[in-house]
């Protein structure tokens, strides 16, 4: 039975990967300081094969016994979070990645970094392919997240090249599904509660900026395929179906049957105008592509939000 540590294991994506690994027969240790995660995300996972450790991964990580896989998901991940927690975001991307890599090296474990499409910044190449180096403002307000992840990728590749550590890097594009925090600053968890309350949906800019939304079930399947592959370069995992934020708002109004209107606010600084993954590598190497249509995924997400205190 493989033994796997997931940092950020009580977060949105971390909790889903923990659940998936348990179903795959892993013993799972979820590690989280609960800065943005919550034990509510992992309460249903309690079993003999699952263990939770509250710990800040920017400090030394100790785990007794063998570890086969280290998956580093710890980080604030929404614009609201990393604008309010800039130092913590930089530290977990730099120090936290260093500590997680050190543990993987000590245990001779496979290491997977949860990186992000934000390494591409406000891209000048569209769609974004893995060999594009990006267009990032390192000193802008979003730079704390973008550059933390870019550093995390660099040190991960350094450990792979210098120490011959088995490493993987997944560049995660916009993902949605159950366990997203309401009002965390991202479009879908902002729009759904507004729609359910028949409140105006708040779109930033004129709504023409584009995103590509992947349902969490699809994303986790892609991440697992990368984890057990022999591929070491960064790989995009996301849904290439591109839509405007205005179209997303209109779709959520339709799915929820809401009477909400759309109102517009100024676009935040350095907000990317486009975002769409090129997933040719994932298709060829992993045999992966997303399968859940947006409306289907949104219906499941809406049902989860209906059970929350909004």
How is residue 7 written in tokens? 């940092």
**In contact, 172 and 211? CB cutoff 8 Å:** no
Output phi, psi for 50, to 5 deg. Answer: -120, 140
Angstrom CA distances, 308 to 34, 79, 219, 300, 305, stand at: 19, 22, 23, 13, 5
Catalytic residue flag (residue 159): no
Among the options 82, 145, 176, 224, which is catalytic? 145
Decide: helix, strand or coil at residue 17: helix
Calpha distance 42→192 (Å, rounded): 23
Decide: helix, strand or coil at residue 308: coil
**For the chain, how far is it from start to end, CA to CA, in angstroms?**
40
Calpha distance 179→42 (Å, rounded): 10
Residue with tokens 């205005």: 246
Nearest to 223 by CA among 21, 2, 37: 21
Calpha distance 278→7 (Å, rounded): 27
Which residues form the catalytic set? Answer: 145
């Amino acid at each position: 039975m493989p033994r796997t540590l997931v940092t950020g294991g009580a977060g949105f994506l971390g909790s889903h990967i923990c659940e998936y690994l348990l179903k795959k027969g892993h013993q799972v240790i979820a590690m989280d300081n609960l800065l943005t995660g919550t034990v509510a995300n992992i309460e249903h996972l309690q079993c003999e094969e699952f263990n939770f450790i509250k710990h800040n991964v920017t400090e030394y990580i100790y785990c007794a016994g063998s570890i086969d896989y280290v998956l580093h998901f710890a980080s604030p991940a929404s614009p609201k979070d990393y604008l309010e927690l800039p130092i913590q975001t930089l530290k977990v991307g730099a120090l936290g990645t260093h500590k997680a890599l050190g543990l993987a090296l000590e245990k001779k474990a496979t290491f997977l970094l949860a990186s992000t499409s934000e390494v591409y910044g406000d891209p000048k190449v569209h769609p974004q392919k893995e060999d594009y180096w990006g267009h990032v403002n390192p000193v802008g307000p979003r730079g704390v997240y973008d550059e933390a992840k870019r550093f995390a990728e660099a040190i991960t590749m350094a450990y792979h090249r210098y120490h011959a550590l088995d490493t993987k890097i997944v560049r995660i594009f916009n993902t949605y599904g159950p366990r997203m925090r309401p009002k965390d600053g991202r479009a879908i968890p902002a729009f759904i509660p507004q729609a359910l309350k028949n409140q105006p949906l708040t779109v930033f800019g004129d709504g023409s900026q584009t995103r590509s939304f992947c349902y969490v079930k699809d994303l986790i399947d892609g991440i697992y395929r990368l984890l057990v592959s022999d591929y070491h370069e960064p790989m995009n995992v996301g849904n290439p179906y591109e839509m405007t934020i205005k179209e997303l708002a209109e779709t959520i109004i339709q799915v929820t049957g809401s009477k909400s209107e759309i109102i517009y606010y100024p676009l935040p600084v350095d907000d990317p105008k486009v975002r769409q993954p090129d997933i040719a590598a994932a298709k060829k190497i992993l045999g992966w592509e997303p399968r859940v249509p947006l409306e289907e995924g949104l219906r499941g997400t809406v049902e989860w939000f209906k059970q929350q205190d909004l």
